């Protein structure tokens, strides 16, 4: 296993900034930098909340936290002043019957615009953006999708994919902008899959809670034939370090581009995957399954009713129709481009990824 220190060997130690560094993916990026880089001399975290570690690792590199929103140009400039690289992970994810569209527009789009402006003013030459596979997911299966896969006319989920895609375009359009230093900013966008692992706030933890609330049983929706791709968050974090190294060493080959970064977690149905973690909490997967189209249509019409009632009362359903469809589609992407151009190879094997994750989920308070 190589370290980014093997391919990044500048004369002076570098300063790396992670926006959203207190969050799920952000903390894993910080851990990877702490444990597996030799070229970084300082880590800066820009976030609206202080870091509360959800996993143990030694702070071998000095780390500074700047409490600020990505919408605050002064706070962002303070955080990135004198830095060599910015990894922009901060964003708002909002799903449900009534997702916070305005909040996502403000943070995901306008916040990204602010980060770009600050990077240009502060002569930052490397900017790596965290996008999502959801920017290419509509209502059709994607099997072995590539970076050439088109953007759908209608995103499967409302709000989040649209704001991330528009932010991604801003990032890519900024590539090559001339800085006051005379150099250029080089940008790149990574599109991680749904992630699992330590600190997971949404994915497996939601399934565990649903099983708890249903007398210890998670009800399967769909016949289990759909193949869904999920990625261990530690491997997704490693991809960002590989992208930073590639921007440093080969900007002309990789800048201004998007990359899918799946790992080697076996393709499988979502419920088969969840069962691995259910057992450790003494929870079970139902023996029967509900036809997913029946559940989808039922939820869809309930959502229509609730939206009609919104002026009078605002109620959220515990599940979303598009989420039911999401996990019953074949959705998986090729890692070929990121492995060839970024030198990305998953840091953790599937066995290591599942083992680390199982320990977290086993002790997750329900």
For 7-39, what is each residue's pLDDT tens digit? 454 468 999 999 999 999 999 999 999 999 999
What's the pTM value of the predicted model, to 2 decimals?
Answer: 0.94
Q: Which two tokens stand for residue 138?
A: 């509509």
Closest CA to 109 of 49, 47, 171, 66: 171
Buried b (16+ CB within 10 A) or exposed e, 253-269: ebbbbbbbbbbbbebbb
Q: Mapping DSSP to helix (H, G, I), strand (E, B) and coil, where does residue 58 land? A: coil
Pairing of strands 186-191, 257-260: parallel
pLDDT at 315 over 90: no
pLDDT at 79 over 60: yes
* Whole-number pLDDT of residue 270: 97
For 153-210, what is each residue's pLDDT tens digit? 999 999 999 999 999 999 999 999 999 999 999 999 999 999 999 999 999 999 999 9
**Mean per-residue pLDDT for 267-272?**
97
* Residue 338 vs residue 6, higher pLDDT: 338
Label residue 311 by pLDDT band (50, 70, 90): confident
**Mean per-residue pLDDT for 116-132?**
99
Nearest-10 crossing angle of helices 270-278, 203-213:
70
**Residue carrying structure tokens 């049983």:** 217
Q: Mapping DSSP to helix (H, G, I), strand (E, B) and coil, where does residue 12 land? A: coil
**Mean per-residue pLDDT for 64-83?**
98
pLDDT at 340 over 90: yes
* Whole-number pLDDT of residue 4: 53
Closest CA to 248 of 39, 2, 65, 70: 39
């Amino acid at each position: 296993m190589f370290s980014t220190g093997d391919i990044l060997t500048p004369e002076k130690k570098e300063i790396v900034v992670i926006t959203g560094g207190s969050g799920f993916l952000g903390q894993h990026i910080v851990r990877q930098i702490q444990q597996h880089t030799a070229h970084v001399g300082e880590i800066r975290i820009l976030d609206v909340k202080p870091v509360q570690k959800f996993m143990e690792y030694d702070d071998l590199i000095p780390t500074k936290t700047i409490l600020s929103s990505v919408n605050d140009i002064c706070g962002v400039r303070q955080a990135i002043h004198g830095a060599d690289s910015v990894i922009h992970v901060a964003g708002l994810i909002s799903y449900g019957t009534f997702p916070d569209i305005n909040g996502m527009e403000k943070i995901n789009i306008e916040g990204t615009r602010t980060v770009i402006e600050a990077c240009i003013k502060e002569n930052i030459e490397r900017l790596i953006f965290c996008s999502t596979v959801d920017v290419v997911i509509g209502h059709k299966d994607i099997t072995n999708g590539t970076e050439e896969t088109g953007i759908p006319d209608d995103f499967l989920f409302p709000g989040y994919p649209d704001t991330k895609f528009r932010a991604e375009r801003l990032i890519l359009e900024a590539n090559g902008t001339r800085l006051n230093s005379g150099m250029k900013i080089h940008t790149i966008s990574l599109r991680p899959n749904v992630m699992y692992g330590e600190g997971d706030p949404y994915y497996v933890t939601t399934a565990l809670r649903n099983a708890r609330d249903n007398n210890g049983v998670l009800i399967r929706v769909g016949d289990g034939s759909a193949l869904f791709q999920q990625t261990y968050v530690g491997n997704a974090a490693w991809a960002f370090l590989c992208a930073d190294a590639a921007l440093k060493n080969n900007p002309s080959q990789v800048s201004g581009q998007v990359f899918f970064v799946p790992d080697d977690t076996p393709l499988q149905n979502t419920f088969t995957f969840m069962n691995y973690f259910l057992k450790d909490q003494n929870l079970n997967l139902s023996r029967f399954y509900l036809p997913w189209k029946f559940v989808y249509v039922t939820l869809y019409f309930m959502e229509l009713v609730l939206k009609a009632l919104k002026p009078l009362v605002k109620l959220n359903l515990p599940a979303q129709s598009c989420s039911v469809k999401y996990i019953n589609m074949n959705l998986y992407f090729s890692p070929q481009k990121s492995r060839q151009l970024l030198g990305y190879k998953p840091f953790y094997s599937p066995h290591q990824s599942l083992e680390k994750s199982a320990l977290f989920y086993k002790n997750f308070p329900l």
